[in-house]
Structure 1
Amino acid sequence: MSDPLAATPHEEDWQWRIDDLARRSETPVDTIRYYQREHLLPAGERRGRVNFYGAIHLERLQLIKDWQDRRFSLAAIKALLTEERSGLMEGIFGGAGERTYDLDELIAESGISIELEQRIREVGFFREPSDFGRDSYDGEDLEVLRTLSALYDLGVPQVAIVEIVRLYAKGIEATQQSVVDLFATGGDLDWNPKDLDAFQSLAAEKSNEILPLARQLVDYTHHRTIQRLTLGAITLGTDS
């Protein structure tokens, strides 16, 4: 993989001093220097005693600001913000909506009971935003709590709801870890290095298109499995 902080072939276009970059990006000079120390931003080109910057630095600052506005921590941005992974980051974490929530707001707007929220957290289904690189909850969290609240309102016992989400959390964690390993290391397949690198580059570049399609595969498998197992249970009950 290429070094996302390496020099580019366009350094001749780097004509801005750090004050110019700060003004264009609306980012304080001290913040720019901090990002450089933390390897979030490429180094400038040194000419004499002055560093010069260009469009690549402005784009990176705008991208960092965009993800901070979505409530991602700098640690998460630093881990994922590379040339190869920026598209993957957008594909996986983007599109959740702009509004954010704290826990009290989620509970109030979803209608879920505090007790049920605590139980689904204890079984590993509902997690802290920091587990996803964020510092607040988002619209997807609100929708899933509304879904659980609706199940309870339909008369599904709380103990059953908690067991359902526990089973999902346990099973999906193992399955998705295997899928992540496939993209990260090639999984159990016998790749040659060239093909694996091409596959990983494609996954990063096309993640916005791949992820919705992969989600359809998950939904299809889930629905068909429920149908098959339900039919089997009905047949077994009829035969007994």
Structure 2
Amino acid sequence: MSGRGAGAEYRIEDLAHASGATVRTIRAYQDRGLLPTPERRGRANVYGETHLARLHRIADLLDRGYTLASIKELLEAWDAGRGLGGVLGLAAEVHGPWTDEKADRITREELDARFGGSQDDEAIAEAVELGVLERVPGRADEFLVPSPQELAVAVELHAAGVPLLAISGHLKELRGQVEHIASRFLEFTTEHVFARYLGHHPPTDSDAAEAASMVRRLRPLAQQTVDAELARAMQTFATRHLHHHLGSRESAIEGSETRPVLLPARTTQAVQDLVGAEQVAAFIAAAAEREVQARTLDILASSRPRANKLDEMG
């Protein structure tokens, strides 16, 4: 390798050492068109600072989660004179933390103490699999806690009498539902907000910068919406559960009127055998309400295609 500086030159082995990539990786990047063609001198290829800078940029984009195919498109845009500052800023917004919560560490002894002093290796393994705990390399008795709040919830539930494996099972179910909500929110915002910024592939520098700004604005909305809807649903269903378990004859919905309804004797008898005589009215009311809600959802869902056809005909 010649002297370092603006005109530094590298053999492929020197470039690999300076960049942290392997010789094999550098050659693979050349074959994929990710690196500019090196200068040929005799039987050797000579690389420069441009190649080193390109290798550092590729490594940075890989760390951000980009595939090599996506990186190639970004670098081609860069070579064509389109900046990457906006794109990288957008990537930083998306890949950055979506919560202000800070990770913490906890020892196995502290963990056992918080869960009543019992040692449950199966529950620990389940927590690691779910990502509630992460093992610290070289420290068998210490764990990283990505979300101390989530761990605190598990501690409180366990103190209230919920078995650890039941808690992890509930978390699995909850996580699947929350991931569905997150996916739908992203589809919704992409369709109505981000589609106009992502028309070019890759997006222009200015469009990417505007999209990054929009991510910052919209990021809290998903959690705020879920918090509000969860509070509403918890109040509704907690009230229903309370009425059900207290055997209240009053409807859980305020302001509703009651009126007698004739049912076949075999129906009321079947319900009574299922839930007991005291709960017959509450069970039938809840079942009827659920059926009405289901049919309402079916009507709403079926009305959209019809509306779309009318729009096309108009």
Give the TM bin, normalised by the shorter chain: 0.5 to 0.7
Within 2, Cα distance between the matches of 1:44 and 1:196?
31
For residue 61 of structure 1, give the secondary structure of its aligned residue in structure 2.
helix
- CA 93–223 in structure 1, closer or farther in 2 if over 3 Å, else same: same
- Higher-strand-fraction structure: 2
Cα distance per residue 1:152-202 (max 9 Å; x no partner): 33225235532442233212333334455678xx66x7x99x875159727
The one-letter code of the counterpart of 2:95 is F
Deviation at 1:232, TM superposition (A): 1.5
Cα deviation per residue 1:14-71 (whole Å; 9 max; x = unaligned)? 965434983994546726624524748422354665555444x333333455578xxx
| Cα root mean square deviation, aligned | 5.1
Would you say 1:119 and 2:126 are equivalent positions? Answer: yes
**Pair 1:61 & 2:74 matched:** no
The count of aligned residue pairs is 198
Structure 1 length as normaliser, TM-score? 0.53
Q: What's the offset of the Cα at 1:228?
A: 0.6
Aligned pairs for 1:1-240 (under 5 A) are 17-19=9-11, 22=15, 25-27=18-20, 30=23, 33-34=26-27, 36-37=29-30, 39=32, 41-44=34-37, 46=39, 50-55=45-50, 57-65=51-59, 72=63, 78=68, 81=71, 83=74, 86-94=88-96, 108=108, 111=111, 114-120=121-127, 125-126=130-131, 142-144=145-147, 146-154=148-156, 155-156=159-160, 157=162, 158-178=164-184, 196-198=198-200, 201=203, 204-205=208-209, 208-236=212-240, 237=242, 239-240=250-251
What do residues 79-137 of structure 1 show as CA deviations (whole Å, max 9, x unaligned)? 653527644543333469xxx9xxxx877498376433433566xx43999xxxxxxxx
Q: Decide whether the 8 Å contact of 2:90 with 2:208 is kept in 1.
A: yes
- Percent identical: 14
Q: Distance in 1 between matches of 2:24 and 2:109?
A: 36
Asked whether the equivalents of residues 110 and 149 of structure 1 are also in contact (C-alpha less than 8 Å), the reply is: no
Q: Secondary structure at the match of 1:167?
A: helix
1:225, CA displacement in angstroms? 1.2
Runs of 5+ in structure 2 lacking a partner?
A: 1-5, 75-83, 113-119, 135-143, 244-249, 252-314
Larger radius of gyration: 2
Give, in angstroms, the shift of residue 149 of structure 1: 3.2
- TM-score using structure 2 length: 0.43
Structure with more contact order per residue of length (Cα contacts < 8 Å, sep ≥ 6): 1
Instruction: Quote the Cα distance in structure 2 between the aligned partners of 1:206 and 1:40.
Output: 30
Q: Is the 8 A contact 2:89 2:209 kept in 1?
A: yes
